[in-house]
Amino acid sequence: MLMLAGEDWSLQNEQGWSALQEAICNREERIAKIIVWHYQPLAWAKWCRKLPRLIGTMRRMRDFYMEISFHFDSSVIPFISRRIAPSDTYKIWKRHANLRADMTLAGFDGFRIQRSDQRVLFLGDGSVDGKVPPGSLCMVSHKDKEVMNALNGAGAPATEAEVQQAVISMSQTNIFRPGIDVTQAVLLPQMTWRRREKMEMMGSWKAKVYDMHNVVATIKSRRVPGAMTDDEFFNSSNVNEAESEEFDVY
């Protein structure tokens, strides 16, 4: 009934877990299926409500180019000999209501690093020829030479088979929830060897360079009954890790 009424499925309890994660951990397959069945149309409706304001805000902003580089003091979790915090640089361009972001770190699947030389295009103004509507989100894969509309079919409900497969997939591994604590974060200007603040040209602007310190990244895990153990999970991802390491060389 709550999902039918449009309840926000992404809300978390005091422990930081969503209703879907609680259903998976407690083996409540029926509840998990209901949430999976409804959350895509609900997420799409929420996106459509916010899109006009987002496009309007972007049009009022000044155009810019920026780079976000990040690395971690330690990229290995204690007692787990795996590198899970690789460095990367995001390059972001903004022009009118359009946004482009180039990156190589696609995300995480549990402790697996997902690498992909990709470009994200948000076309708030649409395409010049009118074939791409305003508010489109496209993913460009340089490796596969493919362009995908990330929002294609986003508002359509999942099929019974897709719902079943999604619940089965989530039930096969433990749940990992990454988090970032910035409550103690500080921005410090980079200094030159003459102890002067470092300046760089970003497009037509002369900009100061800052480092952000004291950002704490955490990963919280929760056991799913009947799922693979952490050792089994790590062993199954050895091939993916090798592929990621090969990608890092280029």
Instruction: Residue 221: count other Cβ atoms within 10 Å of its Cβ.
Output: 12
Percent of the chain topping pLDDT 90: 15
Report the domain count for the chain.
Answer: 1
> 2 lies in a domain?
no
CB 32 within 8 A of CB 170: yes
More confident residue, 182 or 69: 182
> 30 lies in a domain?
yes
> 1 lies in a domain?
no
Of 41-50, 62-71, 91-100, 223-232, the least confident: 223-232
> 123 lies in a domain?
yes
Of 60-74, 97-111, 143-157, 171-185, the least confident: 97-111
> 9 lies in a domain?
no
* Average pLDDT over the chain, rounded to an integer: 77
Distance separating alpha carbons of residues 135 and 157, to the nearest angstrom: 21
Residue 55: pLDDT band by 50, 70, 90 thresholds?
very high
Percent of the chain topping pLDDT 70: 75
Q: Considering the entire predicted model, what is its pTM?
A: 0.59
> 5 lies in a domain?
no
Cα four-point dihedral sign 60, 62, 66, 72: negative
Of 53-57, 113-117, 209-213, 241-245, the least confident: 241-245
CB 167 within 8 A of CB 36: yes
Distance separating alpha carbons of residues 234 and 247, to the nearest angstrom: 19
Residue 186: pLDDT band by 50, 70, 90 thresholds?
very high
E strand or H helix that includes residue 64 = strand 64-70
Taking 80 as the threshold, does the pLDDT of residue 14 lie above it? yes
Tell the residue number behind the tokens 């497009």, with chain if given: 203
Report the pLDDT value the prediction gives residue 67, as an integer from 0 to 100.
Answer: 84
> 177 lies in a domain?
yes
Report the pLDDT value the prediction gives residue 158, as an integer from 0 to 100.
Answer: 77
Report the pLDDT value the prediction gives residue 188, as an integer from 0 to 100.
Answer: 92
Domain residues for the domain of 23 are: 19-249
Report the pLDDT value the prediction gives residue 244, as an integer from 0 to 100.
Answer: 44
More confident residue, 106 or 177: 177
